[in-house]
Structure 1
Amino acid sequence: MAGQVRPFILDTMVAGRARHRGIGTGLIATAVHHARAAGCDWLHVDFEDHLSGFYFQSCGFSPTNAGLIALS
């Protein structure tokens, strides 16, 4: 639908020494809260395969179909 705002999360990172303390999931939860408060219907994230457990299990994202064209 034209005119919809779709927020997008890219390259969420937490320093190695600070991992496994809930910082990343807290960051995503904050983004979800603010996107919802802004009236957005969807929040999109793109990530490498090895991070799927974090985004799907820890943060509650659902897998979806998407497409990609390599330009270089």
Structure 2
Amino acid sequence: MARGVLIAESLRADANLDRLDLCVDRIWRSDAGVYAGRVFRYPRGDLAGRAAAADHGRAVGVPEEQLDWPA
């Protein structure tokens, strides 16, 4: 089983990864913040939406240098 962070620029919000042999700790996208049990979707350029996703990342222990995706 693979374990780690999935970086998925084009992953749909409703994508189902259950059939893959993966243990995903986090998924990163530039227009969404996806965490275990929580998804933040916002249009590109929405600074408030991006800030909410980054704030949640901080609250669950994501290092600051991993919260620098484009707005």
TM-score bracket for the superposition, by shorter chain length = 0.3 to 0.5
Whose radius of gyration is greater, 1 or 2? 1
User: Which structure has more strand as a fraction of its residues?
Assistant: 2
Q: Which has the higher helix share?
A: 1
TM-score by length of 1: 0.35
